[in-house]
Structure 1
Amino acid sequence: LANDAWRHVLNQSAGYVVGKFEQPTLCSSGWKHNKSFGDYFTINNIKTVAPYVTETQKEDTEQKSSVTFNNLHICKELVEALDRINIIHPTTVQLQTIPKVMKGHNILCAAETGSGKTLSYLLPIVNRLQAEKKPHMYTENSRKIHTLVLVPSRELAEQVAAVSRTLCAPFGLLTRTVGGGRGVGHIKMVFKRNHPDILVATPGALVKALFSTIEPKQTRGLVHKAQLLVVGATFPGGVGEVLKQVTDLGSIVVIKSKMLHFLMPHVKQTFLKVKGADKILELNQALKLLQHEKGGGGALVFCNKSATVNWLGHSLDEMGVQHARLQGEMPAAVRSGIFHSFQKGAVDVLICTDIASRGLDTSRVRLVVNYDFPESHTDYIHRAGRVGRAGGVEDGEVLSFVTHPWDVELVQKIEIAARRRTSLPGMESEIHDQT
């Protein structure tokens, strides 16, 4: 960890690890005092390559043999579809998960952000659907929903559906989405012709669909016959109690990343103690630095409330900073397509709430700014995980503004976890790797 000049005595080398019971001297120890404004410290990255990159991928850069998706017994049409989008080598989580999904196991996959979890479940799903499809399954009005993918936001639903459509294209399989913010009439239109093979939905929209469009007989026996895949980057305590309500825990094969709930070792993370009134100036400076000295790239600026997103957007307008805004209180028609335009590079700065922190592909993002410090370690992990993703830029950074005393308490726990090289406190769960 590195600190500013006047507290350089607290600097520690990247390789130094504090013992489990040793009480470290923290850079942020005095941050509840007003005189600490302007102080900062940085958790420097100790790796240049993400931990979910496999050893075979690293070796491939040295012209050695490597594992490809052919080794996972994925059909050639899917391998070719991946080749067209320049995905050649499976990540660690894909190597571990895909074979087990293909064998029909119920799966709980708990792996760090950006490790390629979407393909871990979509590839074997599409591979199975194409292998089992029969001609009579696709006559007019005869389709049935074979796969349901449930995700937390409309933006993630559209992203997962886009990946699914790419994989399904060679086989004529149909993917559709239903997202929040839409009325029953819109949802009925989605199912007017026939049901998709793969439905990607948000929870609220799914409830509307179940009660207004999907025949009850199609969901009867779902718990007993369906294969259950639970996938995520954070699994705090209580997950087991929830899963027990829908399945036998003994039937679930757990795949748990070694870096689950850890700070990302390949991403530089800086914490700045700053007055609330000065945050806008610090943000503007960070954005200028990104564009003029670091070669440009995407920036995600996270706020805790929709009102802050709107206010900050107006302030950046006055400063001449081009940006887009994304928050949950926007009407569905306004919100639609905003994140996609950011992904495509139409705008480099996106001001958002946590709806943009879960699962979304942000491979072009080079800087994440926590304008408001996140309210929990879970939120911090997801926000920070928007950089350093599979296939993304390799020099991503996270900058967090620390203003309130309750922010300092979370920062100190993060700093201790970094020095001890342990998972973040309060993120322990009953999930244990059974592989």
Structure 2
Amino acid sequence: MSSVSSFADLGLAEPLLRALDQAGYKTPTPIQTQAIPEVLKGGDLLAAAQTGTGKTAGFTLPILQRLTDRPAPERKPGRPRALILTPTRELAAQVHDSVRTYGRHLSLKSMTIFGGVNMNPQIKALRGPMDIVVATPGRLLDHANQKTIDLSGIEILVLDEADRMLDMGFIRDIRRLIGLMPKQRQNLMFSATFSGEIRTLAATLLNKPAEVDVAPRNTAAETVRQTVHLVESSRKRELLSHLIRSNDWGQVLVFTRTKHGANRLAQKLTQDGVPSEAIHGNKSQAARTKALKQFKTGAVPVLVATDIAARGLDIDQLPQVVNFELPNVPEDYVHRIGRTGRAGSVGAALSLVDGEEMKLLKGIERLIQRPIERIETDGFATPKPAANDGNGQRRGGKPGGDARNGKPRQSRGGKPGGNRGGGQGRAAQGNRAARSR
């Protein structure tokens, strides 16, 4: 496929090419170059691609073309032909935006179905003909149970970010939904990695799939400069406020492990004079949409998010990501920093790490197969990593002290942080399935 230099080379129809041109897209990305021809062939596909690689167009464009090339003999109300399942509301909205953008010159109808909003408008939309539905599993299953949607006409099924749906415990819902679909259909599965769990799932859902892999397994984005700042837990918020102000960061996505932690940090930063909003699963859809809009427009420079809520956030040229707390699952670190450095732009990811998180940091460095650069800032002590002596007791002096005299170490590095430079992993699974309802 090295000869591909334009979308026209991929065999896409003129209405799609016109829409792409109007949207300003000229050259396909590697995932689009490889995935689009495979989808157009009509077979199943297993594709590994991280966010920011253009994967959404890699499946929405050929789906639009296939549905247009093969008109349905009969269009029944509430009986879609293509279903795209996503783990979060934000990603569902983003994918649907792509469907509408690329399909603007086609006569296909599409809609989103997700929780956090009233079901009645969705039910009303399903009373008419519908070609493409983009949905989260929980709310879609609600519709299926109430028989407000008919999945017996699904010709194409997409599982987007299948690895995240596994983490969030949606597989049982997905299998129930698949049981309502015809056995003869095209299946497309997109995942950030080809983990063992993903391959096991693919073996049960896909039929002799073609494979596309444009993201080396668990490789952090090469366009992101990654740094670590060792700092006492009690001083993280103070340091973050200092770095944002001193470096004049105008748009920062900050990750915390918990929803409560996100709320608290956003409140404290705002009190520091750094306007911030939190986004997580307990927020209403209206509140999440408003916070994201304020962040995108620059009205609020800092968005504090949990891993689940940030999945699917599409922010062009986001310059800075900060891990206020490291994730419990190393793979989530890769997803977090993938929010920046997208589509070839340069980004920065800074992690604030205390002594208790050193084990998590080492796990991340093993995963990405390289050490992350350490930086220091004047006035902020570096914690001494916690260690165990032979009797299982903690040892090692005061957390901020120098190994020799217990005094705070001063920076060797000039400007504070500069531009050198999100945690609900699998441990939070008991509460996961409700997040997208």
Q: TM (normalized to structure 1)?
A: 0.73
1:69, 1:79 within 8 Å by CA — same for their partners in 2? yes
The aligned residue for residue 364 of structure 2 is 414
- What secondary structure is seen at the aligned counterpart in 2 of 1:398? strand
CA distance in 2, matches of 1:356, 1:340: 14
Q: Does 1:271 align with 2:221?
A: no
Structure 1 residue 306: Cα displacement: 0.7
CA distance in 2, matches of 1:364, 1:258: 20
Deviations 1:270-314 (A, max 9, x none): 1122111111112112222442xxxx5521001111101111111
The aligned residue for residue 231 of structure 1 is 190
The aligned residue for residue 245 of structure 1 is 204
Structure 1 residue 357: Cα displacement: 3.4
The aligned residue for residue 375 of structure 1 is 328
Q: Tell me, which stretches of 5 or more residues in structure 2 are unaligned?
A: 155-178, 372-437
The aligned residue for residue 355 of structure 1 is 308
1:302, 1:351 within 8 Å by CA — same for their partners in 2? yes
Q: How many residues align?
A: 346
CA distance in 1, matches of 2:19, 2:325: 40
Cα gap change, 1:130 to 1:216, in 2 (>3 Å): closer
Q: Does 1:165 align with 2:97?
A: no
The aligned residue for residue 283 of structure 1 is 240
Q: Does 1:121 align with 2:59?
A: yes
CA distance in 2, matches of 1:223, 1:144: 12
1:144, 1:197 within 8 Å by CA — same for their partners in 2? yes
The aligned residue for residue 339 of structure 2 is 386
Moved over 4 A (4+): 216-221, 416-421
Structure 1 residue 372: Cα displacement: 1.2
Cα gap change, 1:364 to 1:265, in 2 (>3 Å): closer
Cα gap change, 1:142 to 1:310, in 2 (>3 Å): closer
Structure 1 residue 111: Cα displacement: 1.7
| TM alignment of 1:312-331, pairs within 5 A | 312-331=265-284
Cα gap change, 1:71 to 1:215, in 2 (>3 Å): closer
1:260 corresponds, among 207, 211, 217, to: 217
1:104 corresponds, among 26, 35, 42, to: 42
Deviations 1:337-390 (A, max 9, x none): 432443344433211111343233122310000111111112101101001111
- What secondary structure is seen at the aligned counterpart in 2 of 1:320? coil
1:223, 1:247 within 8 Å by CA — same for their partners in 2? no
More off after superposition, 86-95 vs 254-263 = 254-263
2:224, 2:340 within 8 Å by CA — same for their partners in 1? yes
2:317, 2:341 within 8 Å by CA — same for their partners in 1? no
2:81 corresponds, among 135, 146, 171, to: 146
Structure 1 residue 183: Cα displacement: 5.3
Cα gap change, 1:111 to 1:257, in 2 (>3 Å): same
Cα gap change, 1:108 to 1:364, in 2 (>3 Å): same
Q: TM (normalized to structure 2)?
A: 0.73
CA distance in 2, matches of 1:173, 1:207: 23
- What secondary structure is seen at the aligned counterpart in 1 of 2:183? helix
- What secondary structure is seen at the aligned counterpart in 2 of 1:225? coil
Structure 1 residue 173: Cα displacement: 1.3
More off after superposition, 86-95 vs 236-245 = 236-245
Cα gap change, 1:223 to 1:257, in 2 (>3 Å): farther
- What secondary structure is seen at the aligned counterpart in 1 of 2:105? helix
| TM alignment of 1:212-223, pairs within 5 A | 212=146, 213-215=148-150, 217-218=152-153, 222-223=181-182
Cα gap change, 1:344 to 1:199, in 2 (>3 Å): farther
CA RMSD of aligned residues (A): 2.5
CA distance in 1, matches of 2:183, 2:64: 21
Q: Tell me, which stretches of 5 or more residues in structure 1 are unaligned?
A: 1-53, 57-65, 422-435
Name the structure, 1 or 2, with higher relative contact order (CA <8 Å, separation 6+). 1
Q: Which amino acid aligns with 2:11?
A: H
1:179 corresponds, among 96, 114, 125, to: 114
Q: Which amino acid aligns with 1:237?
A: G
